[in-house]
Amino acid sequence: MTTQRTSPSSTARRNETSRRAILTAAFELVQEVGYVKLSIEGIASRAGVGKQTIYRWWTSKGAVLFDAFLMLSEHPDGGGSALPDTGDLEADLKAVLRATVAELNDPRYDEPMRALNTEITHDPALAALYSERLDGPMRELKKQRLRNAQQAGQLAQDLDLDVAVDLLWGPLLNRWLQRSGALTPDYADNIVETALNGLRPRH
Amino acid sequence: MTTQRTSPSSTARRNETSRRAILTAAFELVQEVGYVKLSIEGIASRAGVGKQTIYRWWTSKGAVLFDAFLMLSEHPDGGGSALPDTGDLEADLKAVLRATVAELNDPRYDEPMRALNTEITHDPALAALYSERLDGPMRELKKQRLRNAQQAGQLAQDLDLDVAVDLLWGPLLNRWLQRSGALTPDYADNIVETALNGLRPRH
pLDDT of A10 higher than 90: no
CB neighbours of residue B62 within 10 Å = 18
Higher-confidence residue: B134 or B88?
B88
How many Cβ pairs closer than 8 A exist between chain A and B? 176
CB neighbours of residue A19 within 10 Å = 18
Size of chain B in residues = 203
pLDDT band with cut points at 50, 70 and 90 for residue B5 = low
pLDDT reported for residue B62: 85
The CA-based diameter of chain A, rounded to the nearest angstrom, is 89
- Within 8 A of B191 by CB-CB distance, chain A residues are 163, 166-167
- The whole-number average pLDDT for the span B122-132 is 86
Report the C-alpha gap between A188 and A171 in whole angstroms: 9
Amino acid at B68: A
By CB atoms closer than 10 A (0-12, 13-18, 19+), residue A4 is: exposed
Of A157, A166, A172, which to mutate for an interface test with B (greatest number of B Cβ within 10 Å)?
A: A166
Domains plus CATH for chain B? Answer: 8-73 (1.10.357.10), 89-197 (1.10.357.10)
Closest alpha carbon within chain A to B157: A201
- Within 8 A of A201 by CB-CB distance, chain B residues are 153-157
Closest alpha carbon within chain A to B155: A200
A32-35's contacts with Cβ under 8 Å and 24+ in sequence apart are: A34/A111, A34/A115, A34/B122, A35/A61, A35/A65, A35/A111, A35/A112, A35/A114, A35/A115, A35/A118, A35/B122
- Within 8 A of B127 by CB-CB distance, chain A residues are 178-180
Report the C-alpha gap between A166 and B178 in whole angstroms: 12
Lowest average pLDDT, out of A24-28, A155-159, B63-67, goes to B63-67
pLDDT band with cut points at 50, 70 and 90 for residue A203 = confident
Amino acid at B140: E
Contact B117 A121 (CB under 8 A): yes
The beta-carbon neighbor of A191 closest among B130, B163, B180 is B163
The beta-carbon neighbor of A120 closest among B163, B179, B197 is B179
CB neighbours of residue B52 within 10 Å = 9
Q: pLDDT tens digits, residue range A78-115?
A: 556 889 999 999 999 999 999 999 999 998 888 888 88
Instruction: Choose the most confident range, by mean pLDDT, from A42-51, B7-16, B114-123.
Output: A42-51
Closest alpha carbon within chain B to A124: B179
- The whole-number average pLDDT for the span A19-47 is 92
Report the C-alpha gap between B164 and B156 in whole angstroms: 10
Q: pLDDT tens digits, residue range B148-175?
A: 999 999 999 999 999 999 999 999 999 9
Report the C-alpha gap between A115 and B121 in whole angstroms: 9
For B36, the 3-state DSSP assignment is coil
Q: What is the DSSP string of B107-168?
A: HHHHHHHHHHHHHHHH-HHHHHHHIIIIIHHHHHHHHHHHHHHHHTTSS-TT--HHHHHHHH
